[in-house]
Structure 1
Amino acid sequence: MTMPPRPFSAAQLAERWQCSAETVRQLVKCGQLSGFRIGRMIRIPRAAVEEYEAKFIATPEENATVDPAQDEPYTIEYVAGRRRKRAV
């Protein structure tokens, strides 16, 4: 009989996603990521992690799209304590 894969701790998942463990705990708390408690410890099943990643984490191809309007050069002008962004 094969053992199911071990669930992630909040710290392990935070390292994988390059965020804080508190962010992972908040995702579980608000119900966006399913997890369970063993005493005071939060554990997140691997299936829940894969499901969340499929829904919410962008692929490199999705990140590669650039809005041409955002790619235009600009300068920042300082006027009497205020900054203005001006197109070049």
Structure 2
Amino acid sequence: MASDNPTHAFSPTELAARWNCTPETILAMIRRGTLRAFTLSPPGCKRPRWRVSRAAVEDYEAGPVQVKPPEQPRPSRRSRDTQLKRFFRV
């Protein structure tokens, strides 16, 4: 079997069959950066041919790293103008 070869690189279709999902899911993981991959296509190609190394597959299967997005500071509440409140009081 080709996947027994230590230098074998998986295509998105092969990984989808291995992980019981769709190739689009694998491509989405590659685009998000949760799955390391490389392309066989020349630079600037409109349609990359992605491959995932055995090491990247083993790293992911060991436990995907949850990348936490950077926290955005919460916007501070604007202080209310007290003069404006006094103007509208009856």
TM-score after normalising by structure 2: 0.56
Note if 1:5 corresponds to 2:7.
Answer: yes
Distance 2:18 2:27 in 1: 14
Distance 2:6 2:26 in 1: 22
Q: Name the larger-Rg structure.
A: 2
Aligned to 1:50: 58
Deviations 1:14-42 (A, max 9, x none): 00000000000110111000001111210
Aligned to 2:32: 30
Q: How many residues are paired up?
A: 54
Partner letter of residue 49 of structure 1? V
RMSD, matched Cα: 1.4
Distance 1:25 1:43 in 2: 10
% identity of equivalent residues: 41
Unpaired segments ≥5 residues, structure 2: 42-47, 65-90
Higher normalized strand content (fraction of residues):
1
Which has the higher relative contact order, 1 or 2, with Cα contacts under 8 A spaced 6 or more apart?
2
- After TM superposition, give the deviation of residue 4 of structure 1 in Å: 4.9
SS at match of 1:5: coil
Distance 2:6 2:54 in 1: 9
Q: Contact conserved, 2:6 with 2:54, CA < 8 A, in 1?
A: no
Distance 2:39 2:22 in 1: 18
SS at match of 1:16: helix
Note if 1:17 corresponds to 2:25.
Answer: no
Distance 1:12 1:21 in 2: 8
